[in-house]
């Protein structure tokens, strides 16, 4: 069964880059321009993994993760952001994150993080 990744990213070209790399690696990908759309997509289709930016309109990445965790606490999350570092303090109220990848994202590092999160 193909694993499903929901990508929440408000910058269209970045989202397309993630989608291209993930689809090429064999994943089903749903791209959403903000946390609200990503949450709607998650409620409709669920997902095996959430890849999210932190700073987005309508609902930011932390808000998205908080709401996804209420529905399905075990869904792994990867945060892709230029505004945090891998050792940044992320509030515990959002649950445990799988990984943080720094923007600009190295696609090899992204695929490695996705594979690790889903294994």
Mean pLDDT of the chain: 88
pLDDT at position 106 over 50: yes
67 closest CA partner among 43, 100, 102: 43
The CATH number of 4-118 is: 3.40.50.2300
pLDDT at position 17 over 50: yes
Residue 93's pLDDT is what?
A: 47
Strand pairing report for 4-8 and 28-32 = parallel
pTM of the model: 0.89
Report residue 92's pLDDT band, with 50, 70 and 90 as the boundaries.
very low
Taking the domains of the chain in order of start, what are their residue ranges? 4-118
């Amino acid at each position: 069964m193909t694993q499903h990744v929901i990508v929440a990213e408000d910058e269209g070209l970045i989202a397309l880059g993630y989608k291209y790399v993930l689809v090429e690696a064999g994943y089903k990908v749903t791209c959403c321009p903000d946390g609200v759309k990503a949450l709607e997509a998650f409620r409709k289709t669920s997902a095996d993994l959430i890849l999210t930016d932190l700073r987005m309109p309508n609902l930011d990445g932390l808000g998205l993760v908080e709401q996804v965790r209420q529905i399905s606490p075990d869904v792994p999350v990867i945060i892709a952001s230029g505004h945090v570092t891998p050792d940044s303090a992320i509030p515990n109220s959002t649950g445990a994150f799988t990984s943080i990848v720094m923007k600009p994202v190295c696609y090899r590092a992204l695929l490695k993080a996705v594979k690790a999160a889903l294994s």
